[in-house]
A = this chain, B = another copy of it.
Amino acid sequence: MSPDTIGVGLVGYAFMGRAHSQAWLASRQFFSPGIRAELTAIAGRDAEAARDVADRFEWRSVRTDWRDLLDDPAIGLIDICTPGDTHAEIAIAALAAGKHVLVEKPMANTLAEAEAMAEAAAAARRTGTRSMVGFTYRRLPAIALAREIVARGGLGRVYSVRGQYLQDWLADPKAPWTWRLDRTAAGSGALGDIGAHVIDLAQYVVGDRITTVSGTLTTAHSQRVDAGGTSRAVTVDDSCDFVARFASGASGSFTATRLATGRKNALRLEVSGENGALAFDLEDMNYLEFYDTSGGPDAGFRRIMVTDPQHPYVGAWWPPGHSLGYAQPFTHQAVDLLNAIADGTDPAPSFEDGLQVQRVLASIETSDRTRSWTTVIEAAEEATP
């Protein structure tokens, strides 16, 4: 007996749209989730571009207005891959229409939007409508393993977390202006784009929440020339450094930057605990380094190649030692969401988790402005990273 199916409606067809398209397909090629995704429709304002993606990934139909997806009874799940300023409207409407929702990060561009989304998610949850934020890196096998190790007490008490998300695409002063450098469209710069990832991962792996922060934002080049040759103002941060304190008292030190020359996609996390430590770097995503103090003087960071069938998610793919890539966690995310829908459980990260990250981001901006430590607001207590 084959599983039930659910129709997916995808909004967005760019880089993220393609990543999600292949994930919905791979979710049934390599896994056997409790409910099977059908690629029912894709929506995008540029019909030509949307049609191209639809052809490539065999989406059954193409729409130019995402609202059409909400009216389609064949669609049970809305997957939002548009820029951040549209997330709140689409997600809230989709939940109201009784569609399960997966929304890419950053969940929203403003705290107010994020709060409205979390409220909508809470309301929808009561009728069994599921929602999830796309902090995809939680589904890297190495990160899932890191979470397991911390959760089973492998580090003992956690002392500190050092997190970095280093990219370099703005190190060149001649790198062109894009909408990502405009505060209205993008919300913030490195902070929300990649800082959000490292904050979510740190909280997720440690199983704790950041409660206070002190940070500073940097814009190295306040003007850049756009593709048309016009000089435009850069109104977001290129770079963000902050120190933090977790609820448990653990300390944190973080950097998110687009100015780290030579680092292409270095999302790094090091967690130090009483009995051990973990280190991860997205540029070597198939590995997790684990130090276990029980090794005594012969202890050392051991480089675990997280490609064993017993490792999270890995068994569905290739034999041991065969590298996974950037695409895989999107598939794992799709599978986990499909299984949550099938099982009638709430997937994580929830919109409340997304809201809590948004609060940390907002607190860092406040801290930068006031030049003092800022408390991540109390309502965050409800979130469970």
Binding site for B on A (CB under 8 A): 2, 15, 18-19, 21-22, 25-26, 28-30, 55-58, 145, 155, 157, 159-160, 162, 164, 167-169, 171-173, 214-216, 218, 220, 239, 241-243, 245, 249, 251-255, 257, 259-266, 270, 272-277, 282-287, 289-291, 293, 295-305, 307-311, 317-328, 371-373
Contacts and interface: CB of A to CB of B under 8 A. Distances in A.
Contacts of A239: 159-160, 251
9 closest A-B pairs by beta carbon, nearest first, are: A264-B321, A325-B325, A265-B321, A262-B291, A302-B302, A297-B308, A300-B302, A300-B304, A372-B372
Contacts of A162: 164, 255
Given A305-B264, A323-B283, A257 B318 contact: no
A317 B25 CA distance: 16
A218 B264 contact: no
Contact of A323 (B171, B255, B326): B326
A223 B295 CA distance: 26
A272 B262 CA distance: 8
A297 B282 CA distance: 19
Contacts of A155: 261
Contact of A276 (B261, B291, B299): B261
Contact of A371 (B164, B220, B320, B373): B373
Contacts of A263: 272, 277, 321
24 contacts: A28-B56, A159-B257, A171-B274, A173-B274, A214-B243, A216-B243, A259-B272, A261-B272, A261-B275, A261-B276, A261-B293, A262-B277, A262-B293, A264-B305, A265-B320, A266-B321, A295-B302, A297-B308, A301-B303, A322-B325, A322-B326, A325-B328, A327-B327, A371-B373
A350 to B, nearest CB: 26
Given A22-B29, A164-B162, A293-B172, A264 B320 contact: yes
Nearest to A276: B261
Secondary structure dominating the interface of A? mixed
B15 A21 contact: no
Contacts of A272: 168, 171, 257, 259-263
A301 B21 contact: no
A136 to B, nearest CB: 11
A261 B243 contact: no
Contacts of A157: 220
A103 B153 CA distance: 44
With most chain B CB atoms within 10 A of its CB, the pick from A251, A261, A328 is A261
A207 to B, nearest CB: 17
Contact of A326 (B215, B218, B265, B318): B318
Contact of A251 (B2, B218, B373): B218
A329 to B, nearest CB: 11
A255 B252 CA distance: 9
A319 to B, nearest CB: 7
A22 B259 CA distance: 36
A253 B251 contact: no
Given A216-B251, A300-B304, A373-B371, A323 B293 contact: no
Instruction: Pick the most buried of A263, A282, A308: most chain B CB atoms within 10 A of its CB.
Output: A263
